Amino acid sequence: LLRDIPRTDQNLRAGGWRLDDWGTELAGKTVGIIGTGAIGLRVTELFKAFKCRLIGWSRTERSEFAKLGGKYVSKEQVVSEADVVSIHLALNKDTEGIIGERELGLMKPGACLINTARGRVVDRAALTRALQERRIRAALDVFDQEPVPHDDPLVQAGGTVLTPHIAFKTDEALLRRARITVQNIRAFLDGSDSNRIV
């Protein structure tokens, strides 16, 4: 999104060869992490490698986030200061629609929202409006309705990278899940504690 690859890809495929498009680098940008559980912390590690300023908000603050260079701030401060907001929250009654019209309205013009958590964590109508008005950009792997209809206004909005809930789907992730499953079964049969309770 920072390099506007979807648009430049479409331009090239349509026969264009624009050299006047400029993107921005991730290095030095402020990244806001919403939800600093295991996945949020792992994503923080990845952004740290790009030398980003890391701020976050989570209902439970973890010391590991500070060890990675992150600083906890209010949710409003995360969305208003971040160039990139990355969401990593479980969906429950407290988190449904937690990123709504107000939070999206606080985002910087052109900021990027990444949601690989659950679609309903973000207010869909508010997000669609923000995208249609070209106030922000978004990378979405999850939707409130899956599969998302191809003619949905959210899908038709520009400034997006959309994938069909496959962010977790890698060969390596499948092997990790299989190993964890085997370890949990062995732990259960041995009467010991599982390393990961699901």
Which tokens is 129 given?
């409006």
In this structure, the number of other CB atoms found within 10 A of the CB of residue 32 comes to 29
Give the active site residues.
118, 146, 165
Alpha carbons 143 and 128: distance in angstroms, whole number: 12
- Give me Rg for the CA atoms of the chain: 19
Alpha carbons 56 and 72: distance in angstroms, whole number: 5
Task: Find where tokens 């506007």 sit.
Answer: 4
